[in-house]
C-alpha cells in the first residue's frame, strides 16, 4: 500500500510538471485561432451577384482563352507554357500557374472572387500599396455573368481525381520547395528561382519537408486556409483550396515529412505487448525470490 502511495505522488508530480511545460505552455505561447472554414466570408459579399448565376462553360472557354493564355498555360486545352519557369518568374515576379487544374483545386466562389480582385481574395492587399500592383490584374470590369462563365469553364476542364503530389505541385510548388520528396534529384525545388521569389515575397518561402513535424496538422489546416490568422501581415496568399484539396496537401506533407508513420504505428503495439509479458514474468520472479525473505 505504501508503495502505491509513493507511486501516486511520483506520478502526480510528473503529470503536473508535464501539464505545465507542454499543454499549458503551448496554450500560452500559441493563442487559439478559429477553426478552418471554407466560406471565404470576407469576399462573399463582393461576389454574391456572380454566385447567384449559372455559368456557361462554352462561353467561358472563349473568355479564358482570349484573356488568360497570354500568361497562363492550360496544357489540357493545348496551351503550353509561354516561357520557362525562370523567365516567367522574371517577367511576373512569380511563375504563373497552369489553369488546367484550378477548377478542381480551388473553391468555385473563391475562384470568382480571385478573378474579380486577386489581392483581396488572397488577403494580401497590404503588399500592393504605393503603386505596386498584384501581378494578376483584377477583372472587376467584367460582367458577373462573364466571370461565372469562366469559372464554369475551369471547372469543366478540371480532372476528376488528383494525387496528393499533383495537388501539392499545382497549389504550392510555385513558391515552396519540398526537397525531401526527391532528395537525390532535386526536382521538387520551387519553380520560381530564389532571387525572384525573394524579391516578390520578401524572403524565400520555407522548404516544406518538415512542416508536418514543426507545425503539426492543426496549425497547417488553419494556416493554409487563412495564413493571416497565424502570421498577420504575411506575404503568403490565401490560395483558396477546397477542403478536400487542403486535406490532400496536408496528407502529402505527412507522406514526405513523416514517411515512417505507418511502420511506427504498426510496430508500437507489438513492442508494448512484449513488454507487458516481460513485466508479468518479472513480477512472478520477484514474488518467488521475495517469498523467502518476508
Partner 1 sequence: MAKFEKANSVGEWLDQRLNLTTFNKVMMTEYWIPKDINFLWAMGVLLATTFGILIISGIFLMMYYKPDIGLAFDSVNYTIMQEVAFGWLFRHMHGVAASVVFLIIYIHMFTGIYYGSYKQGREMIWISGMLLFMTFSAAGFSGYMLPWGQMSYWAAMVITNLFGGVPVIGDALVVWIRGDFNVADATLTRFFMLHVFLLPITIMGIIGLHFYTLRVPHVNNQNSEEFDFDEEAEKYLAGNKRESKVIPFWPVFISKDLAVLGIFLIFYFYLVFFHYDFAMDPVNFDPANNMVTPAHIYPEWYFLWSYEVLRGFFFDIAGVKAFDVGLIAFAFANVIFLLLPWLDRDPAILPAHKRPIFFIWFWILMADLIVLTVYGKLPPTGTNAWVGFFAAVAFILLFLVLPIVTKIDAKKRGAL
Provide the minimum distance between the beta carbon of 202 and partner 1 in the complex, in angstroms, as a whole number: 12
Binding residues for partner 1 restricted to 183-202, rule: CB under 8 A: 183
**Residue 37, phi then psi, degrees to nearest 5:** -135, 155
Tell whether residue 1 is a contact of partner 1 (CB under 8 A): no
Angstrom distance (rounded) from CA 102 to CA 89: 19
Angstrom distance (rounded) from CA 135 to CA 125: 12
Grid cell in block for residue 67: 484573356
Q: Are 36 and 226 in contact (CB under 8 A)?
A: yes
Residue number, 159 or 283, with CB nearest to partner 1 = 283
**Residue 12, phi then psi, degrees to nearest 5:** -60, -45
Tell whether residue 282 is a contact of partner 1 (CB under 8 A): yes
Spatial CA neighbour of 236 closest among 258, 212, 206: 206
Angstrom distance (rounded) from CA 239 to CA 230: 15
Tell whether residue 58 is a contact of partner 1 (CB under 8 A): no
Binding residues for partner 1 restricted to 86-115, rule: CB under 8 A: none
Spatial CA neighbour of 114 closest among 57, 169, 43: 43
**DSSP-based three-state secondary structure for 79:** strand
Tell whether residue 2 is a contact of partner 1 (CB under 8 A): yes
Number of other CB atoms surrounding residue 195 within 10 Å: 12
Angstrom distance (rounded) from CA 133 to CA 119: 9
- Cα-atom radius of gyration of the chain, to the nearest Å? 26
In the shown chain, the binding pattern of residues 255 to 274 toward partner 1, with x for contact by CB under 8 A and - for none, equals ----xx--xxx-xx--xx--
**Residue 52, phi then psi, degrees to nearest 5:** -75, -15
Q: Are 228 and 234 in contact (CB under 8 A)?
A: yes
Tell whether residue 133 is a contact of partner 1 (CB under 8 A): no
Binding segment for partner 1 among 5-13, 61-69, 101-109, 240-248 (CB under 8 A)?
5-13
Binding segment for partner 1 among 73-81, 155-163, 185-193, 204-212 (CB under 8 A)?
204-212
Residue number, 6 or 133, with CB nearest to partner 1 = 6
Provide the minimum distance between the beta carbon of 2 and partner 1 in the complex, in angstroms, as a whole number: 7
Provide the minimum distance between the beta carbon of 131 and partner 1 in the complex, in angstroms, as a whole number: 29
Tell whether residue 32 is a contact of partner 1 (CB under 8 A): no
Tell whether residue 285 is a contact of partner 1 (CB under 8 A): yes
Residue number, 28 or 185, with CB nearest to partner 1 = 28
**Contact set with partner 1 (CB under 8 A):** 2-3, 6-7, 10, 13-14, 16-18, 20-22, 24-25, 28-29, 180, 183, 206-207, 209-210, 213-216, 259-260, 263-265, 267-268, 271-272, 275-276, 278-280, 282-283, 285-286, 288-290, 292-294
Amino acid at each position: 500500500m505504501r508503495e502505491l502511495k509513493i507511486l501516486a505522488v511520483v506520478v502526480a508530480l510528473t503529470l503536473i510538471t508535464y501539464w505545465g511545460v507542454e499543454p499549458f505552455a503551448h496554450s500560452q505561447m500559441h493563442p487559439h485561432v478559429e477553426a478552418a472554414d471554407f466560406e471565404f466570408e470576407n469576399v462573399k459579399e463582393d461576389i454574391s451577384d456572380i454566385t447567384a448565376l449559372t455559368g456557361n462553360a462554352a462561353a467561358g472557354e472563349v473568355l479564358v482563352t482570349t484573356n488568360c493564355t497570354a500568361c497562363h498555360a492550360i496544357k489540357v486545352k493545348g496551351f503550353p507554357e509561354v516561357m520557362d519557369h525562370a523567365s516567367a518568374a522574371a517577367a511576373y515576379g512569380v511563375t504563373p500557374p497552369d489553369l488546367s487544374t484550378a477548377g478542381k483545386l480551388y473553391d468555385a466562389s473563391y475562384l470568382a472572387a480571385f478573378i474579380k480582385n486577386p489581392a483581396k481574395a488572397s488577403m494580401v492587399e497590404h503588399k500592393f500599396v504605393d503603386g505596386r500592383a498584384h501581378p494578376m490584374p483584377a477583372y472587376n470590369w467584367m460582367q458577373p455573368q462573364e466571370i461565372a462563365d469562366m469559372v464554369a469553364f475551369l471547372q469543366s476542364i478540371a480532372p476528376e481525381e488528383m494525387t496528393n503530389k499533383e495537388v501539392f505541385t499545382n497549389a504550392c510548388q510555385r513558391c515552396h520547395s519540398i526537397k525531401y520528396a526527391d532528395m537525390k534529384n532535386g526536382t521538387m525545388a520551387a519553380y520560381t528561382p530564389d532571387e525572384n521569389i525573394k524579391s516578390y515575397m520578401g524572403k524565400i518561402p520555407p522548404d516544406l519537408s518538415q512542416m508536418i513535424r514543426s507545425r503539426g496538422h492543426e496549425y497547417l489546416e488553419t494556416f493554409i486556409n487563412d495564413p493571416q490568422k497565424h502570421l498577420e501581415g504575411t506575404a503568403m496568399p490565401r490560395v483558396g483550396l477546397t477542403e478536400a484539396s487542403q486535406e490532400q496537401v496536408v496528407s502529402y506533407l505527412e507522406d514526405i515529412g513523416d514517411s515512417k508513420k505507418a511502420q511506427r504505428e504498426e510496430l508500437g503495439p507489438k513492442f508494448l505487448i512484449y513488454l507487458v509479458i516481460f513485466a508479468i514474468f518479472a513480477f512472478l520472479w520477484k514474488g518467488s525470490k521475495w517469498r523467502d525473505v518476508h
